[in-house]
Structure 1
Amino acid sequence: MTNLPSNLLKDDVCLDCYRWERDPEWLGILEHNHSFYHYNDFLKDYLARYKYRGDYALAQAFSQTIKTYLAEAEYDLIIPIPLSDERLYERGFNQSTALLEEAEVRPSHILTRWHSEKQSKKTRSERLLQEQGFRLEESDVKGKIILLFDDIYTTGTTLRQAANLLRDAGADTVSSLTLARG
Protein backbone atom coordinates (compact mmCIF):
# COMPACT_ATOMS: atom_id res chain seq x y z
CA MET A 1 0.00 0.00 0.00
CA THR A 2 1.11 3.54 -0.64
CA ASN A 3 1.34 6.17 2.07
CA LEU A 4 -2.26 7.25 2.51
CA PRO A 5 -3.48 10.00 4.83
CA SER A 6 -4.32 8.70 8.33
CA ASN A 7 -8.05 9.40 7.81
CA LEU A 8 -8.01 6.74 5.05
CA LEU A 9 -6.45 4.07 7.29
CA LYS A 10 -7.77 1.73 9.97
CA ASP A 11 -5.36 -0.52 11.86
CA ASP A 12 -2.59 0.31 9.33
CA VAL A 13 -4.78 -0.91 6.46
CA CYS A 14 -6.60 1.28 3.96
CA LEU A 15 -10.28 1.68 4.80
CA ASP A 16 -11.29 0.08 1.53
CA CYS A 17 -9.31 -3.11 2.19
CA TYR A 18 -10.56 -3.13 5.78
CA ARG A 19 -14.18 -3.10 4.53
CA TRP A 20 -13.53 -5.86 1.99
CA GLU A 21 -11.95 -8.11 4.61
CA ARG A 22 -14.95 -7.72 6.92
CA ASP A 23 -17.21 -9.26 4.24
CA PRO A 24 -17.12 -13.08 4.63
CA GLU A 25 -17.64 -13.52 0.88
CA TRP A 26 -14.38 -11.66 0.11
CA LEU A 27 -12.32 -12.44 3.21
CA GLY A 28 -8.81 -13.52 2.20
CA ILE A 29 -9.47 -13.46 -1.56
CA LEU A 30 -6.84 -10.79 -2.18
CA GLU A 31 -3.81 -11.18 0.08
CA HIS A 32 -2.85 -7.51 -0.19
CA ASN A 33 -2.45 -4.64 -2.62
CA HIS A 34 0.57 -2.40 -3.00
CA SER A 35 0.21 0.92 -4.81
CA PHE A 36 3.16 3.12 -5.67
CA TYR A 37 1.34 6.44 -5.70
CA HIS A 38 -1.75 8.22 -4.45
CA TYR A 39 -4.07 9.01 -7.38
CA ASN A 40 -3.94 12.80 -7.22
CA ASP A 41 -4.85 15.39 -9.87
CA PHE A 42 -1.38 15.36 -11.43
CA LEU A 43 -1.37 11.58 -11.81
CA LYS A 44 -4.97 11.60 -13.05
CA ASP A 45 -4.02 13.96 -15.89
CA TYR A 46 -0.81 12.05 -16.62
CA LEU A 47 -2.57 8.69 -16.84
CA ALA A 48 -5.39 10.15 -18.93
CA ARG A 49 -2.80 11.25 -21.50
CA TYR A 50 -1.30 7.79 -21.37
CA LYS A 51 -4.47 5.66 -21.47
CA TYR A 52 -7.01 7.68 -23.43
CA ARG A 53 -4.86 9.79 -25.72
CA GLY A 54 -2.42 7.01 -26.55
CA ASP A 55 0.77 8.64 -25.28
CA TYR A 56 2.36 5.22 -24.87
CA ALA A 57 5.83 6.63 -24.13
CA LEU A 58 4.60 7.92 -20.74
CA ALA A 59 4.81 4.33 -19.44
CA GLN A 60 8.60 4.68 -19.39
CA ALA A 61 8.39 7.04 -16.39
CA PHE A 62 7.33 4.15 -14.16
CA SER A 63 9.52 1.36 -15.50
CA GLN A 64 12.32 1.59 -12.94
CA THR A 65 9.90 1.79 -10.00
CA ILE A 66 8.05 -1.30 -11.21
CA LYS A 67 11.27 -3.17 -12.01
CA THR A 68 12.76 -2.44 -8.57
CA TYR A 69 9.63 -3.57 -6.73
CA LEU A 70 9.28 -6.78 -8.75
CA ALA A 71 12.92 -7.71 -8.16
CA GLU A 72 12.03 -8.15 -4.47
CA ALA A 73 8.49 -9.53 -4.89
CA GLU A 74 7.65 -13.21 -4.65
CA TYR A 75 5.36 -14.50 -7.38
CA ASP A 76 5.06 -17.32 -9.90
CA LEU A 77 2.92 -15.43 -12.40
CA ILE A 78 2.25 -11.74 -12.93
CA ILE A 79 -1.05 -11.12 -14.67
CA PRO A 80 -2.09 -7.73 -16.02
CA ILE A 81 -5.78 -6.93 -15.69
CA PRO A 82 -7.06 -7.43 -19.23
CA LEU A 83 -9.23 -5.14 -21.31
CA SER A 84 -12.21 -6.43 -23.25
CA ASP A 85 -11.59 -6.82 -26.99
CA GLU A 86 -13.74 -3.74 -27.63
CA ARG A 87 -11.81 -1.58 -25.14
CA LEU A 88 -8.48 -2.86 -26.48
CA TYR A 89 -9.56 -1.89 -29.99
CA GLU A 90 -10.55 1.62 -28.80
CA ARG A 91 -7.25 2.28 -27.00
CA GLY A 92 -4.89 0.31 -29.19
CA PHE A 93 -3.04 -1.12 -26.19
CA ASN A 94 -3.57 -2.48 -22.69
CA GLN A 95 -2.13 0.11 -20.32
CA SER A 96 -1.28 -2.45 -17.63
CA THR A 97 0.52 -4.75 -20.06
CA ALA A 98 2.44 -1.81 -21.51
CA LEU A 99 3.60 -0.69 -18.07
CA LEU A 100 4.94 -4.18 -17.36
CA GLU A 101 6.60 -4.48 -20.76
CA GLU A 102 8.33 -1.11 -20.31
CA ALA A 103 9.71 -2.53 -17.03
CA GLU A 104 11.03 -5.53 -19.01
CA VAL A 105 8.57 -7.92 -17.39
CA ARG A 106 6.92 -10.71 -19.34
CA PRO A 107 3.32 -10.95 -18.10
CA SER A 108 1.04 -13.97 -18.29
CA HIS A 109 -2.10 -13.32 -20.31
CA ILE A 110 -4.36 -16.00 -18.85
CA LEU A 111 -7.36 -13.81 -18.02
CA THR A 112 -9.81 -12.42 -20.52
CA ARG A 113 -12.53 -9.88 -19.90
CA TRP A 114 -16.07 -9.42 -21.12
CA HIS A 115 -17.05 -6.05 -22.49
CA SER A 116 -18.93 -3.74 -20.15
CA GLU A 117 -19.40 -0.05 -19.53
CA LYS A 118 -16.16 1.83 -18.84
CA GLN A 119 -15.13 1.67 -15.19
CA SER A 120 -14.39 5.39 -15.22
CA LYS A 121 -18.05 6.06 -16.10
CA LYS A 122 -19.41 4.04 -13.16
CA THR A 123 -20.14 5.30 -9.67
CA ARG A 124 -18.47 3.68 -6.68
CA SER A 125 -21.73 1.85 -5.89
CA GLU A 126 -22.04 0.56 -9.45
CA ARG A 127 -18.44 -0.67 -9.39
CA LEU A 128 -18.99 -2.52 -6.14
CA LEU A 129 -22.07 -4.29 -7.53
CA GLN A 130 -20.63 -5.41 -10.86
CA GLU A 131 -20.72 -9.09 -11.67
CA GLN A 132 -17.73 -11.31 -12.50
CA GLY A 133 -16.25 -9.94 -15.71
CA PHE A 134 -13.34 -12.32 -16.22
CA ARG A 135 -12.71 -15.75 -17.67
CA LEU A 136 -9.62 -17.84 -17.04
CA GLU A 137 -7.98 -19.24 -20.15
CA GLU A 138 -6.62 -22.76 -19.84
CA SER A 139 -3.75 -22.48 -17.45
CA ASP A 140 -2.60 -24.34 -14.38
CA VAL A 141 -2.56 -21.89 -11.48
CA LYS A 142 -2.95 -24.57 -8.81
CA GLY A 143 -0.62 -23.88 -5.89
CA LYS A 144 0.89 -20.79 -7.55
CA ILE A 145 1.56 -17.36 -6.09
CA ILE A 146 -0.16 -14.86 -8.36
CA LEU A 147 0.49 -11.13 -8.64
CA LEU A 148 -2.20 -9.13 -10.43
CA PHE A 149 -1.16 -5.82 -11.98
CA ASP A 150 -3.33 -2.83 -12.83
CA ASP A 151 -2.83 0.87 -13.31
CA ILE A 152 -5.35 2.25 -10.79
CA TYR A 153 -6.95 0.76 -7.68
CA THR A 154 -10.25 2.56 -7.15
CA THR A 155 -12.69 0.31 -5.28
CA GLY A 156 -10.82 -2.99 -5.45
CA THR A 157 -13.72 -4.74 -7.18
CA THR A 158 -11.86 -5.52 -10.41
CA LEU A 159 -8.83 -6.94 -8.63
CA ARG A 160 -10.94 -8.97 -6.21
CA GLN A 161 -13.06 -10.45 -8.99
CA ALA A 162 -9.93 -11.56 -10.82
CA ALA A 163 -8.41 -12.87 -7.57
CA ASN A 164 -11.59 -14.79 -6.76
CA LEU A 165 -11.52 -16.54 -10.13
CA LEU A 166 -7.85 -17.44 -9.69
CA ARG A 167 -8.35 -18.66 -6.12
CA ASP A 168 -11.30 -20.82 -7.28
CA ALA A 169 -8.94 -22.31 -9.88
CA GLY A 170 -6.49 -23.30 -7.14
CA ALA A 171 -4.05 -20.40 -6.85
CA ASP A 172 -2.33 -20.50 -3.47
CA THR A 173 -2.30 -16.73 -2.96
CA VAL A 174 -3.26 -13.73 -5.04
CA SER A 175 -2.06 -10.23 -4.32
CA SER A 176 -1.99 -7.12 -6.44
CA LEU A 177 0.27 -4.29 -7.48
CA THR A 178 -1.09 -1.05 -8.86
CA LEU A 179 0.52 2.10 -10.06
CA ALA A 180 -1.90 4.34 -8.15
CA ARG A 181 -4.48 4.10 -5.39
CA GLY A 182 -7.54 6.31 -5.81
Structure 2
Amino acid sequence: MHCLWCDQKILPKVTWLTFLTPQKIEVLCEECKGKFSFITGSVCIRCNRPMDDKGKTCYDCERWIAQNPFLESNISVFEYNSFMQEVISKWKYRGDYVLAELFREEVQQRFEEAFSDLDGLIVVPIPLSEERLQERGFNQAEAIASFVNAPSENAIKRIHTEKQSKKSRKERMTSANPFQIEKPQRSTIVLIDDIYTTGRTLHHAAEVLKSSGAPEVYSFTLVRG
Protein backbone atom coordinates (compact mmCIF):
# COMPACT_ATOMS: atom_id res chain seq x y z
CA MET A 1 0.00 0.00 0.00
CA HIS A 2 1.20 3.50 -0.84
CA CYS A 3 0.37 6.80 0.87
CA LEU A 4 -2.49 8.50 -0.96
CA TRP A 5 -0.76 11.86 -0.63
CA CYS A 6 2.99 11.41 -1.14
CA ASP A 7 2.94 7.90 -2.68
CA GLN A 8 5.53 6.63 -0.20
CA LYS A 9 5.24 2.91 0.44
CA ILE A 10 3.56 2.12 3.77
CA LEU A 11 5.17 -0.79 5.56
CA PRO A 12 2.72 -2.56 7.90
CA LYS A 13 3.70 -3.16 11.51
CA VAL A 14 3.82 -6.92 11.99
CA THR A 15 3.03 -8.41 15.41
CA TRP A 16 1.49 -11.71 16.49
CA LEU A 17 -1.93 -9.98 16.32
CA THR A 18 -1.38 -9.43 12.59
CA PHE A 19 -2.14 -13.09 11.98
CA LEU A 20 -5.17 -13.26 14.29
CA THR A 21 -7.23 -10.15 13.54
CA PRO A 22 -8.17 -8.17 10.42
CA GLN A 23 -5.75 -5.31 9.90
CA LYS A 24 -6.74 -1.70 9.21
CA ILE A 25 -5.70 -0.47 5.79
CA GLU A 26 -3.52 2.61 6.20
CA VAL A 27 -3.98 5.30 3.54
CA LEU A 28 -1.47 7.81 4.94
CA CYS A 29 2.17 7.39 5.90
CA GLU A 30 3.23 8.52 9.37
CA GLU A 31 4.97 11.63 8.02
CA CYS A 32 1.85 12.88 6.24
CA LYS A 33 -0.37 12.02 9.21
CA GLY A 34 1.79 14.27 11.35
CA LYS A 35 1.13 17.26 9.09
CA PHE A 36 -2.56 17.41 9.95
CA SER A 37 -3.47 19.58 12.92
CA PHE A 38 -6.41 18.38 15.01
CA ILE A 39 -8.54 20.86 16.92
CA THR A 40 -7.71 20.46 20.60
CA GLY A 41 -7.59 22.60 23.71
CA SER A 42 -9.69 25.70 24.31
CA VAL A 43 -12.23 26.50 21.61
CA CYS A 44 -15.31 28.67 21.14
CA ILE A 45 -18.20 26.68 22.58
CA ARG A 46 -20.37 27.44 19.54
CA CYS A 47 -18.16 27.32 16.44
CA ASN A 48 -15.09 25.32 17.56
CA ARG A 49 -12.65 28.13 16.76
CA PRO A 50 -9.41 27.67 18.74
CA MET A 51 -9.13 30.49 21.30
CA ASP A 52 -7.40 31.26 24.58
CA ASP A 53 -10.44 31.45 26.86
CA LYS A 54 -11.97 28.10 27.73
CA GLY A 55 -15.77 27.98 27.78
CA LYS A 56 -16.15 31.32 26.00
CA THR A 57 -17.92 32.42 22.83
CA CYS A 58 -15.98 34.17 20.06
CA TYR A 59 -16.90 37.59 18.67
CA ASP A 60 -18.38 36.20 15.44
CA CYS A 61 -20.67 33.87 17.36
CA GLU A 62 -21.84 36.69 19.62
CA ARG A 63 -22.96 38.46 16.45
CA TRP A 64 -24.69 35.34 15.16
CA ILE A 65 -26.54 34.87 18.44
CA ALA A 66 -27.88 38.42 18.13
CA GLN A 67 -28.67 38.38 14.41
CA ASN A 68 -29.29 34.82 13.27
CA PRO A 69 -29.59 32.33 16.16
CA PHE A 70 -30.62 29.32 14.06
CA LEU A 71 -27.46 27.19 14.28
CA GLU A 72 -26.95 25.54 17.68
CA SER A 73 -23.23 24.86 17.37
CA ASN A 74 -20.49 23.59 15.06
CA ILE A 75 -17.97 20.79 15.43
CA SER A 76 -14.85 20.59 13.24
CA VAL A 77 -12.10 17.99 12.98
CA PHE A 78 -8.99 19.80 11.73
CA GLU A 79 -7.40 23.24 11.82
CA TYR A 80 -6.77 24.93 8.47
CA ASN A 81 -2.98 24.82 8.34
CA SER A 82 -0.84 25.05 5.19
CA PHE A 83 -0.84 21.29 4.62
CA MET A 84 -4.62 21.08 4.90
CA GLN A 85 -4.94 24.03 2.52
CA GLU A 86 -2.89 22.12 -0.05
CA VAL A 87 -4.92 18.93 0.43
CA ILE A 88 -8.25 20.74 0.18
CA SER A 89 -7.13 22.53 -2.99
CA LYS A 90 -6.16 19.30 -4.73
CA TRP A 91 -9.25 17.43 -3.53
CA LYS A 92 -11.87 20.12 -4.00
CA TYR A 93 -10.66 22.27 -6.87
CA ARG A 94 -8.67 19.79 -8.95
CA GLY A 95 -11.19 16.98 -8.68
CA ASP A 96 -9.07 14.32 -6.94
CA TYR A 97 -12.09 12.66 -5.31
CA VAL A 98 -10.20 9.70 -3.82
CA LEU A 99 -8.38 12.04 -1.41
CA ALA A 100 -11.54 12.05 0.72
CA GLU A 101 -10.28 8.73 2.06
CA LEU A 102 -7.58 10.65 3.93
CA PHE A 103 -10.26 11.88 6.34
CA ARG A 104 -12.63 8.91 6.63
CA GLU A 105 -11.48 7.50 9.97
CA GLU A 106 -11.14 10.88 11.71
CA VAL A 107 -14.53 12.07 10.42
CA GLN A 108 -16.27 8.92 11.62
CA GLN A 109 -14.68 9.08 15.06
CA ARG A 110 -15.28 12.81 15.66
CA PHE A 111 -18.87 12.69 14.42
CA GLU A 112 -19.66 9.78 16.72
CA GLU A 113 -18.09 11.57 19.71
CA ALA A 114 -20.04 14.75 19.03
CA PHE A 115 -23.50 13.52 18.04
CA SER A 116 -24.04 9.98 19.35
CA ASP A 117 -26.50 11.27 21.98
CA LEU A 118 -28.83 12.86 19.39
CA ASP A 119 -31.59 10.39 18.57
CA GLY A 120 -33.07 10.27 15.09
CA LEU A 121 -30.80 12.88 13.56
CA ILE A 122 -30.49 13.41 9.82
CA VAL A 123 -27.41 14.79 8.07
CA VAL A 124 -27.87 17.36 5.32
CA PRO A 125 -24.84 18.04 3.09
CA ILE A 126 -24.45 21.66 2.00
CA PRO A 127 -25.37 21.59 -1.70
CA LEU A 128 -23.45 23.08 -4.59
CA SER A 129 -25.16 25.00 -7.35
CA GLU A 130 -25.69 23.04 -10.56
CA GLU A 131 -22.97 25.09 -12.24
CA ARG A 132 -20.43 24.42 -9.48
CA LEU A 133 -21.29 20.71 -9.41
CA GLN A 134 -20.64 20.46 -13.14
CA GLU A 135 -17.30 22.21 -12.70
CA ARG A 136 -16.05 19.90 -9.92
CA GLY A 137 -17.81 16.66 -10.76
CA PHE A 138 -18.68 15.93 -7.12
CA ASN A 139 -19.94 17.59 -3.95
CA GLN A 140 -17.29 17.49 -1.21
CA ALA A 141 -19.93 17.82 1.52
CA GLU A 142 -21.70 14.69 0.25
CA ALA A 143 -18.38 12.84 0.30
CA ILE A 144 -17.90 13.74 3.98
CA ALA A 145 -21.52 12.86 4.79
CA SER A 146 -21.09 9.41 3.25
CA PHE A 147 -18.57 8.55 6.00
CA VAL A 148 -20.89 9.05 8.98
CA ASN A 149 -23.36 6.56 10.41
CA ALA A 150 -26.54 8.58 9.91
CA PRO A 151 -29.19 8.91 7.18
CA SER A 152 -28.55 11.68 4.67
CA GLU A 153 -31.12 13.93 3.01
CA ASN A 154 -30.72 16.56 0.29
CA ALA A 155 -33.18 18.88 2.00
CA ILE A 156 -32.04 22.25 0.66
CA LYS A 157 -31.14 23.69 -2.73
CA ARG A 158 -28.54 26.32 -3.54
CA ILE A 159 -29.20 29.20 -5.90
CA HIS A 160 -26.07 29.96 -7.92
CA THR A 161 -23.93 32.66 -6.32
CA GLU A 162 -20.35 33.88 -6.52
CA LYS A 163 -17.76 31.58 -4.94
CA GLN A 164 -17.29 32.24 -1.22
CA SER A 165 -13.51 32.01 -1.70
CA LYS A 166 -13.66 35.16 -3.87
CA LYS A 167 -15.46 37.23 -1.24
CA SER A 168 -13.96 39.33 1.53
CA ARG A 169 -14.82 38.51 5.13
CA LYS A 170 -17.23 41.46 5.27
CA GLU A 171 -18.94 40.37 2.04
CA ARG A 172 -19.38 36.83 3.38
CA MET A 173 -20.92 38.06 6.62
CA THR A 174 -23.46 40.28 4.83
CA SER A 175 -24.34 38.14 1.80
CA ALA A 176 -27.95 37.17 1.07
CA ASN A 177 -29.27 33.69 1.86
CA PRO A 178 -28.46 31.45 -1.14
CA PHE A 179 -30.61 28.49 -0.03
CA GLN A 180 -34.20 27.42 -0.41
CA ILE A 181 -35.97 24.43 1.12
CA GLU A 182 -36.48 21.32 -1.00
CA LYS A 183 -37.73 18.81 1.57
CA PRO A 184 -38.94 20.14 4.94
CA GLN A 185 -37.57 18.11 7.87
CA ARG A 186 -39.05 17.46 11.31
CA SER A 187 -35.94 15.80 12.74
CA THR A 188 -32.79 17.20 14.32
CA ILE A 189 -30.39 18.16 11.54
CA VAL A 190 -26.60 18.08 11.34
CA LEU A 191 -25.37 20.10 8.38
CA ILE A 192 -22.21 18.80 6.71
CA ASP A 193 -19.63 20.96 4.93
CA ASP A 194 -15.91 21.01 4.29
CA ILE A 195 -14.85 24.34 5.86
CA TYR A 196 -16.29 26.66 8.50
CA THR A 197 -14.84 30.15 7.91
CA THR A 198 -17.23 32.92 8.94
CA GLY A 199 -20.12 30.48 9.35
CA ARG A 200 -22.35 32.40 6.95
CA THR A 201 -23.10 29.43 4.69
CA LEU A 202 -24.07 27.16 7.58
CA HIS A 203 -26.13 29.80 9.39
CA HIS A 204 -28.05 30.51 6.19
CA ALA A 205 -28.74 26.80 5.69
CA ALA A 206 -29.82 26.45 9.33
CA GLU A 207 -32.21 29.36 8.91
CA VAL A 208 -34.16 27.80 6.02
CA LEU A 209 -34.26 24.40 7.74
CA LYS A 210 -35.51 25.74 11.08
CA SER A 211 -38.00 28.02 9.35
CA SER A 212 -39.48 24.97 7.64
CA GLY A 213 -39.85 22.90 10.80
CA ALA A 214 -36.54 21.37 11.93
CA PRO A 215 -36.40 21.53 15.76
CA GLU A 216 -32.60 21.89 16.04
CA VAL A 217 -29.79 22.38 13.54
CA TYR A 218 -26.11 21.68 14.24
CA SER A 219 -23.16 21.58 11.85
CA PHE A 220 -20.14 19.36 11.34
CA THR A 221 -17.23 20.43 9.17
CA LEU A 222 -13.96 18.85 8.19
CA VAL A 223 -11.97 22.04 8.83
CA ARG A 224 -12.27 25.16 11.00
CA GLY A 225 -10.78 28.00 8.96
Q: TM-score normalized by structure 1?
A: 0.88
Q: Which of structure 1's runs of 4+ aligned residues deviate more than 4 A? A: 102-106
| Shift in CA distance, 31/19, structure 1 to aligned 2, threshold 3 Å | same
Q: CA deviation at 1:171?
A: 0.8
1:138 matches 2:183: yes
> 1:12 corresponds to which residue?
56
Q: Give the structure with the larger helix fraction.
A: 1
Cα distance in structure 2, aligned partners of 1:154 and 1:79: 18
Deviating more after overlay: 64-73 vs 86-95: 64-73
> 2:157 corresponds to which residue?
112
The aligned length equals 176
Cα distance in structure 1, aligned partners of 2:155 and 2:224: 24
1:26 matches 2:68: yes
Whichever residue aligns with residue 153 of structure 2, its letter is S
| Residues 60-139 of structure 1 mapped to structure 2, 5 A cutoff | 60-72=101-113, 73=115, 74=118, 76-103=121-148, 106-139=151-184
Where do 5+ consecutive residues of structure 2 fail to align? 1-37, 41-48
C-alpha RMSD of matched pairs (Å)? 2.0
Q: Give the structure with the larger strand fraction.
A: 1
Whichever residue aligns with residue 170 of structure 1, its letter is G
SS at match of 1:148: strand
> 2:77 corresponds to which residue?
36
Q: Which has the larger radius of gyration?
A: 2
For the 8 Å contact 1:63–1:100, the answer to whether it is kept is no
Greater RCO, CA 8 A, separation 6+: 1
